[in-house]
Structure 1
Amino acid sequence: MISTNNLPAELVATAATAWQHIAEHSDTAAIAALEQSLAAHPDSAASLPGMLACSPFVAGLLRRQPGLLTGLLAGGLLQRSLEDGELMEELEQLLAAPGAELGPVLRRFRQRHMLRIVWRDFSRMADTLETVRDTSWLAETCIGLTQSYLHNQLETRFGVPKGRFSGEPQQLIVIAMGKLGARELNVSSDIDLIFAFPESGDTDSTRRSISNTEFFTKLGQGLITALDQITAEGFVFRVDMRLRPYGESGALATNFAAFEEYYQDQGRDWERYAMVKARPITGDPQRGAELMATLRPFVYRRYVDFGVIESLRGMKQMINAEVRRRGLQADVKLGHGGIREIEFIAQCFQLIRGGRDLGLQQRELLRVLEECSKLGCLPPESVAELRSAYLFLRDSEHAIQGYLDQQTQALPAEPLQQSAMATVMGYDTWDGYLAALDEHRNRVAGHFRDLIAEPESDREEPVEELPLWDEDLDAATLAGLGYEQPEQSLEQLQVLQHSSRVATLQVEGRERLQQFMPRLLLACAEAEQPDRALQRILPLVTAVLRRSAYLALLLENPPALGDLVLLCEASPWIAQQLERQPVLLDELLDRGSLYTAADRALLAAELQQQVARLQPGDLEAQMDALRYFKASHVLRVAASELVGRLPLMQVSDKLTWIAEVILEHVIAVAWADLTARFGQPQRDSDGYGFAIFGYGKLGGIELSYSSDLDLVFIFDADAQGVTDGERSIDNVKFYTRLGQRIIHILETRMTMGQLYQVDMRLRPSGNSGMLVSSLRGFRSYQQDTAWTWEHQALVRARLVAGDPIVGQGVDDVRREILCQPRDATALAEEVVSMRERMRSKLSPAAHTVEFDLKQSVGGIVDIEFMVQYAVLAWSSRVPDLARWSDNIRILETLAREGLFEQRESEALIDAYLAFRSAAHQLALQQQPGVVPGERYRELRENVEAIWKRLFRAQVE
Structure 2
Amino acid sequence: MAASERSSALTLLARVGFSELADADAHLSELESVLGLDRDALLAHTSVAADPDAALDSLTLIARRDAQAVRTLAASEKGWRALWALLGASYGFGEFYLRHPEELPDLTTAGTRLPSATELLDALTSAVGAEDGFAESGAEASWVALRVRYRRMLARIAAYDLLSDEPVDEIPDVAATLADAAGAALEASLCVARTRIARDPAGGGLFPREQVAGTRLAVIGMGKTGARELNYVSDVDVIFVGGGDPALIDEVGESRVVDIATRLAVQTMRGISEVEVEPPLWEVDANLRPEGRQGALVRTLESHLAYYDRWAKSWEFQALLKARPLAGDLELGQEYVAAVQPKVWTSAARENFVDSVQRMRERVTEHIPPDEVQYQIKLGPGGIRDIEFTVQLLQLVHGLSDDTIRQRGTLDALTALVAAGYIGRAEAQTFARDYRVLRLLEHRTQLRRLSRTHLMPSDPGELRALARATRLVGSGPAVWELWESVKREVRDIHVRLFYRPLLSAVAGMSAEERSLSPEQAHDRLAAIGFSDPAGALRHIAALTSGLSRKASIQRHLMPVLIRWFADGADPDYGLLAFRRLSERLGDSPWFLRMLRDSSAAAESLTRVLSSSRYIGELMEWIPESAAWLDDDDLLRPRGGVALQEEARAIQTRHETTEDAMRAVRALRRRELLRTAMGAIVGGMTVEELGETLTTITEVTIQATLRAVRREIVPPEDRDLDFSVIAMGRFGGRELGFGSDADVMYVYRANGIEPQRAHDLALKLVAGIRKHSEDHRVPLDLDVDLRPEGRNGPLARSLDAYAEYYRRWSLSWEAQALLRARGVAGSVKLIGAFMKLADDVRFPAKVDPQGVREIKRIKARVENERLPQNADPRRHLKLGPGALSDVEWLVQLLQLEHGHRVEQLRTTSTQAALAAARDADLVPSAAAQRLGEAWRLASRLRSANTLASGHTSDILPPDRMKLDAIGRLLDYPPRSATQVEEDWFAATRRARRVFEKLFYG
Q: TM-score under structure 2 normalisation?
A: 0.42
